[in-house]
Chains A and B, each alone.
Chain A
Amino acid sequence: MKNRMIAAGFGLCLPMVAIPASAQTLNDVQGRGYVQCGVHTGLFGFAEIGDDGEWHGFDVDYCRAIASAIFNDADAVRFTPLNATERFTALQSGEIDVLIRITTWTMTRDASLGLIFAGVNYYDGQSFLVPTELELTDAAGLDGGTVCVQTGTTTELNLADYFNSRGLTFEAVAFAERAEAVSAFEAGRCDAFTADASNLYSTRMTMVDPDAYVVLDERISKEPLGPAVRQDDIQWFNIVKWVHFALLNAEEFGITQANVAEMAESTNPEIMRLLGRDGTFGEMVGLSNDWAYNVIANVGNYGEIFDRNIGAGSPLGIERGLNALWTDGGIHYAPPVR
């Protein structure tokens, strides 16, 4: 009897993942009337519930842009806050339609997790938040130190690669949640807290004394962050990808939330195609032809989203840098609508 019970116990350990069989994400989304979007549990500037009880942030606005393309309604979206370890399972299992959660695009994630990245909406790099009093200029100065880090992130591995490849020693204290890692760092358990730079700027703003800490200029890794979708639905993949490109193209052509109605009268063929005055580009991906018009009218172009949440117009004040358009010295370059 006992043996049978043990066997049954092991049997229960088998996965119980129930995945909906439909590959028609757009149909499902239209049927239920909103986009289910996986976001960060709370990161200032990227995804956070504000004083008004609404979600705000860079990633959140991307969710709203997708909802606008489908429903012409920036509020036709529901948010699922996810931590680092549960995010991919939520997408794989169909709990969310799209994951926009400062997630790094890597080969493993593209090739073996049943998901695919639809673009890069923020070019990030890993850095270190350190006490100003240490007067460090680069991360190598942390040789022999202790670093607080959040588990379930690419950060952990980059950290080890950086120190080990240079023959430097370090200790890593890995926490499940960012809040505990930051609080241990503030208590002096660690000499540095490491994460993507965007995350560090946000973290620094929420610390007791932001001026006592500084983000190092050095970037020890490439962290292209972007939205991810399931691999089995090319139509949905195209929608998410092209909403992103529409935001970039709109900035390139100077189309903003304020002037989009005026721009719709433009005779520039590129703008006419983007805003649905010419061709049937929206219909090709299952949307209405004014999809991009609706996106820009509801959330603005890429530059507006950036400035409002994390850039010059926000307390974070992150510089565009790599995230500027290719025409302004950055590396954002969207394929044309044609």
Chain B
Amino acid sequence: MRPSRLPRHAMDASFWRDERVRAVAAQVLAFAAVVAVFAWLVTNTAANLDRLNIRLTLGFFDERAGFNILQTPIPYDNNSTYLRAFLVGLVNTLIVGVIGVILATILGFLVGIGRLSSNWLLARLATIYVETFRNIPLLLQLVFWAEAVLTLLPRAQQAIELPFGATLSVRGLYLPAPVAESALLWVGVAFLAGIAAAYLLGRWARGRQARTGQRFPAASVGLALIFGLPILTFLVLGRPLAWEPPVLQRFNFTGGIPIIPELAALVLGLVIYTAAFIAEVVRGGILAVPRGQIEAARAVGLSSGTTMRRVIIPQALRAIIPPLTNQYLNLIKNSSLAVAIGYPDLVGVFKNTVLNQTGRAIEVVAITMAVYLFISLAGSVFMNRFNARVAIRER
């Protein structure tokens, strides 16, 4: 708070003249008004609910849900409780969120860098992409993709046969289910050993570069270790893994791991929409890096790829991360449109079906909102931590 610059006699005249008093008074009044409105809402709601004989309760969570859910990443059947149904919906929302965030980031970075490309065609295509997809309402895009996915795919009887017995049809992508034999454990061990070896290799390479200035391709050799060791073990042990392909019954495929078309359509729609915004964030971040930095990097002989990875991106990230966080949160919140195209997310399973079966509108809507709030706040906290790590450090 800055000190008042008013002369002493003016302050004595009236306390209203004191900037500090006014500031505090305004805050107290605003706070009181918010509390009053809130109290009115709560008492009014409580009185009206009482008048209508509606009691708020969470007891319904223990009751049998009785309905089926299309995609159940955690064990669930119609005899499970509403709590279990809630969790299935939540996990389905998180699945879309995680896949969507990863893919939208990759696509967004590619398009954002593409817009800055000196290749005229590439830059124009990236611009058209951004301007098209960020200017059409997401719900329309989702309905479009759902319709497109369902129309393009053949009926189950004419399913497209893919390698390893996988099938693709309007009923979804059915992957063969892996049936593990006990020897498969060693493949896992080899995978962990690969990670450890890659880590040690990275440390050794950094140390050597610091001592001698010589570089070693630690990244590619490390990746080869992480994936090569388990693959080698797998082959040496005689492929201890069987595949159970999906089989077409009268209506549907059974067996195998289904990936439902609704998930594909939802992820497609969300990723394409969000990536358009991320591309602009990335472009802005890169443009925020002073031109002198790039010229200096080129002057000391770094290649254009190294310049991008070592000079531009680390500095651009500082400008990219905060707005990128917004886009991640938007993607997760937008995933609540899933129910429009039949994907069983939290809103579809809980806010629609559970709400209707139990009639507990207030409880269910309040919980749904709280869950989205919690996911968003948790996402913010995580991204803020990450931002603090990449933020500029004064030396």
Binding site for B on A (CB under 8 A): 6, 9-11, 13-19, 21, 84-85, 88-89, 92, 108-109, 112-114, 142, 144-146, 148, 151-154, 156-157, 159-161, 164, 170-177, 180-181, 183-184, 187-189, 191, 230-232
Contact with A along B313-352 (1 / 0, CB 8 A): 0000000000000000000000000011110100010011
Residue of A nearest to B54 (CB): A114
CB neighbours of B147 from chain A (8 A): 183, 187
B355: interface (CB < 8 Å): yes
Contact: B53 with A231, CB < 8 Å? yes
Contact: A171 with B78, CB < 8 Å? no
Q: Which stretch of B105-113, B122-130, B249-257, B387-395 is in the interface?
A: B249-257
Q: Of B52, B261, B344, B373, which is within 8 A of A189 by CB?
A: B261
B38: interface (CB < 8 Å): yes
B152 → A minimal CB distance (Å) = 10
CB neighbours of A14 from chain B (8 A): 41-42, 45, 366
CB neighbours of B351 from chain A (8 A): 85
Given A11-B38, A180-B143, CB of A175 within 8 Å of CB of B358: no
Contact: A184 with B342, CB < 8 Å? yes
Q: Of B49, B344, B365, B370, which is within 8 A of A174 by CB?
A: B344
CB neighbours of A177 from chain B (8 A): 340
CB neighbours of A152 from chain B (8 A): 352-353, 355-356
CB neighbours of B358 from chain A (8 A): 108
CB neighbours of A146 from chain B (8 A): 171, 251-252
Given A144-B252, A145-B252, A189-B261, CB of A174 within 8 Å of CB of B150: no
CB neighbours of A232 from chain B (8 A): 51-52
Given A151-B353, A176-B340, CB of A109 within 8 Å of CB of B251: no
Given A92-B52, A230-B52, A232-B51, CB of A17 within 8 Å of CB of B70: no
Contact: B150 with A89, CB < 8 Å? no
Contact: B150 with A188, CB < 8 Å? yes
Contact: A175 with B45, CB < 8 Å? no
Binding site for A on B (CB under 8 A): 38, 41-42, 44-45, 47-49, 51-54, 66-70, 78, 143, 146-147, 150-151, 155-156, 170-171, 249-252, 254, 261-262, 339-342, 344, 348, 351-353, 355-359, 361-362, 365-366, 369-370, 373, 377
Bound Cα distance A18, B45 (Å): 6
Bound Cα distance A156, B251 (Å): 20
Given A114-B54, A152-B355, CB of A181 within 8 Å of CB of B362: no
Contact: A160 with B352, CB < 8 Å? no
Bound Cα distance A108, B365 (Å): 18
Bound Cα distance A9, B146 (Å): 34
Residue of A nearest to B172 (CB): A189
Given A13-B366, A112-B54, CB of A142 within 8 Å of CB of B251: yes
Contact: B251 with A188, CB < 8 Å? no
Bound Cα distance A84, B359 (Å): 12
CB neighbours of A180 from chain B (8 A): 143, 146, 340-342
Given A13-B373, A231-B53, CB of A160 within 8 Å of CB of B340: no
A116 → B minimal CB distance (Å) = 10
CB neighbours of A159 from chain B (8 A): 67-68
Residue of A nearest to B158 (CB): A188
Q: Of B44, B53, B155, which is within 8 A of A188 by CB?
A: B155
* Other 20 A-B pairs with CB < 8 A, given A19-B48, A85-B355: A10-B370, A13-B366, A13-B369, A16-B41, A88-B361, A108-B358, A146-B171, A151-B339, A151-B348, A152-B353, A154-B356, A159-B67, A172-B69, A172-B70, A175-B339, A176-B340, A177-B340, A180-B143, A180-B340, A189-B171
Contact: A9 with B377, CB < 8 Å? yes
Q: Of A9, A19, A175, which is within 8 A of B52 by CB?
A: A19
Contact: A10 with B373, CB < 8 Å? yes
CB neighbours of A21 from chain B (8 A): 47-48, 51
Contact: B348 with A6, CB < 8 Å? no
A315 → B minimal CB distance (Å) = 27
13 A-B pairs with CB atoms under 8 Å apart are A6-B377, A18-B44, A18-B45, A21-B48, A144-B249, A157-B66, A159-B67, A160-B78, A175-B339, A175-B342, A176-B340, A176-B352, A177-B340
Q: Of A17, A85, A175, A176, which is within 8 A of B48 by CB?
A: A17
CB neighbours of B249 from chain A (8 A): 144
